[in-house]
Homo-oligomer: A and B are copies of this chain.
Amino acid sequence: MNAAWSSFDRARPRESVLDEDLLGRLAGALPEDGGDPADAIEDAARVLDASISPARPLNLAYVGSTGLATATVGDALAATYDVNLAAHSAAAAILEAQTSRWTAEFIGHPRACGGFTSGGQISNLSAILAARERAMPGSRVSGVSAQAGALYCSGEAHQSIIRAAEVAGLGSESVRRLPIDSERRLVPEALERALEQDLAAGVNPVAVIATAGTTLTGAVDPIADLVAICERRSVWLHVDGAYGLPAAATPSAAPLFAGIDRVDSATLDAHKWLGVPKSCSVLLVQDEEVLQAAFGHREKYLLHREDAPNPVDHTLEYSRPMRSLKLWLVFRVHGAAALRVWIQRGIDNARLFTSLIDADPAFQMLHRPMLSTVCFRHTPPGVADLDAHNLRLARAIQADGRVYLAPATIDDRACLRGCFVNFRTTPEDVRLAVAVARELGELLA
């Protein structure tokens, strides 16, 4: 593990691949008898070394976490005791509540209650289920009626919102994917019109989902404007800040998140920009009673104790690991100030990246980064099909292995996309990423 930690401190010349022996063992049948623990752990470490790890400073393709040793100690401690956070857990519940309060305090949310979930999908789904029960009281018992409820978000919202609509029985057709402005933020007037239209047609608005840090470009929807619209009509406003919400803690980005103190619920994945490994998603909800209405057990149930509330009464999952411990340790060991510096570093890296791309006529930024995500493409003279060229370039970069970047599509144009959330990424790494893209792009042009 120590070797792994030190290897994360710098980019690697190549991605590792598995040898035939190990591949053969990974195709084998269930071992009847046990084997040498050292051999098994060595195989596991080699498999991990040949996997796509976001902990490496130049893995920019996915919004992954940083790989903080403190957090891994937290995961190992949590695994050792294996406390169940769904039921009465004594001291563990106190620590989990403090971590939830700290997270809310960090981003400026006056949290009433919340919980830790396995990821943005489950956090977003939980918020939408709470909103569904508030908009359609009793639907938990009697079911939903197709097309009777609608969700509202920009066309740039994460797929997990569509999936949540599918899962909740509302159907993907119930999601109104609204227009975006030139900065790729949801247009408040479009939301007003959609709400009016649906209300006139007898459709029940279940929730508006604002994205605070879209997956594609990191755009932050205008939360304060959406709060005003939603408060006027008593429509639930959920902020999907899985990736971007931690940036609300930095003075430079805080203004983008104005209004976050008045939303009904918000999602934040600590396993993205707060440096802890998956999974550690935080759901913050203002009104505990709505969560209770959506998830509470009205009948007496095995797990209940008369004298203590049960987390399973306001969370979707039953048995739950102690996901909060690693985030608690990070707050205790590193402090809020260090986290702010690390988040600012990501924003600064994106700005540096942008200035390097702007300075090179063979490249083009497709979007000015609002947070720490960059979308750019290689536009060398003489290349007719820039989409095909940039897809080839993305594959060449992944095969090269020094930098890990993914292809994406922005307004039907193929591009390269990178996201800076790893505090290990240095300005030199940023320069290397641009240099690798330039070098391989020229070879392919």
Contacts and interface: CB of A to CB of B under 8 A. Distances in A.
A47 B92 contact: yes
Interface string A324-351: 0110110111111110000000000000
Interface string A112-127: 0000001111100100
A257 interface: no
Contacts of A34: 332-335, 337-338
Interface string A140-167: 1111111100000000001110010011
16 contacts: A18-B91, A26-B94, A30-B336, A40-B332, A44-B328, A45-B77, A48-B92, A55-B81, A80-B277, A82-B271, A121-B316, A142-B171, A143-B171, A158-B318, A271-B319, A277-B321
Interface string A69-97: 01111111111111110011111101100
A179 interface: no
A243 to B, nearest CB: 10
Interface of A: 1, 4-5, 15, 17-18, 23, 26-37, 39-41, 43-55, 62, 64-65, 67, 70-84, 87-92, 94-95, 98, 101-102, 105-106, 118-122, 125, 129, 139-147, 158-160, 163, 166-174, 215-216, 269, 271, 277-279, 295, 297, 300-303, 316-322, 325-326, 328-329, 331-338, 406, 408-409, 417
A164 to B, nearest CB: 10
B172 A83 contact: no
Contact of A279 (B52, B94, B320): B320
Contact of A302 (B84, B166, B408): B408
A51 B321 contact: no
A296 to B, nearest CB: 11
A88 to B, nearest CB: 7
A78 to B, nearest CB: 8
Contact of A139 (B145, B169, B328): B169
Given A45-B77, A142-B146, A169-B169, A122 B317 contact: yes
Given A95-B26, A216-B302, A279-B118, A144 B143 contact: yes
A423 B271 CA distance: 33
Contacts of A54: 82-84
A121 B424 CA distance: 36
Contacts of A106: 30
Given A44-B77, A52-B92, 16 more contacts: A17-B91, A29-B105, A30-B102, A30-B331, A31-B331, A35-B333, A44-B325, A48-B92, A52-B83, A52-B88, A53-B82, A71-B79, A118-B320, A143-B174, A144-B144, A302-B406
Contacts of A90: 15, 50-52
Given A84-B54, A144-B144, A335-B34, A118 B168 contact: no
Contacts of A74: 44
Q: Which 7 A-B pairs have the closest CB atoms?
A: A169-B169, A143-B171, A143-B146, A34-B335, A51-B92, A278-B321, A40-B332
Nearest to A74: B44
B47 A91 contact: yes
B47 A95 contact: yes
B144 A337 contact: no
A409 to B, nearest CB: 7
| A34, A51, A94, A336 pick with most chain B CB within 10 angstroms | A51
B143 A329 contact: no
A64 B52 contact: no
